[in-house]
Amino acid sequence: MTRARLGIPRVAFIAAQLLVVQQSAGSTGRAKPPRMKTCSGSARVLQGNAGLIGDTGGFGRPVTARGAAVVPKQWGGKRALRPHLDSLSGTFPGKSASFHGIDDVVGGRSPIKGMNVRDALQKLYPGKLIIELPGAPRDYGTMRIRVACPVTRACPAGTKE
């Protein structure tokens, strides 16, 4: 059938043809993964709430056992962080813990009465990156961290390249 018989506008028809050509040439139409750098430092690693796994997190996406919750301010703010949620990951040298992607923001009861939990944790652990792992079997305390971060982003608080 022709474009005219199907009632498809010419521009849409040409775009569809180009997509077919790209797909047949092996292009997936997806952007290349970003070039990454390693940011190392110190983090306060909290055991997250496993009961939230599967619920919608603070970024409007499901909380996963492998993902992390963070303090957005430490990563340049929610708006700056949002495009990179899937590409950020972290490991803790010498430990069996890690995270792949950021799903949520740190929440829960504040350790300082009358203060937002994220602000309170940053006050209690100055210079430390705050990470919450919903799939963690325990609270890990303060430990070394390596974050894989796109080269176009600054390293998060508590870490440096």
- Show the tokens assigned to 152: 């176009």
Three-class SS of residue 1?
Answer: coil
- If phi over 0 gives left and psi between -120 and 50 gives alpha, with beta otherwise, what is residue 60? left
DSSP codes joined into one string, 26-37: T--SPPPPPPEE
The pLDDT value recorded for residue 34 is: 75
CATH numbers and ranges of domains, the chain: 1-30 (no CATH), 36-160 (2.40.40)
Per-residue pLDDT of the chain (161 residues; tens, 9 = 90+): 444 444 545 444 444 444 443 444 444 556 666 799 999 999 999 999 999 999 999 999 999 999 999 999 999 999 999 999 999 999 999 888 999 999 999 999 999 999 999 999 999 999 999 999 999 999 999 999 999 999 999 999 999 99
> Which two three-digit tokens encode residue 82?
């949002």
What is the pTM (predicted TM-score) of this model?
0.78
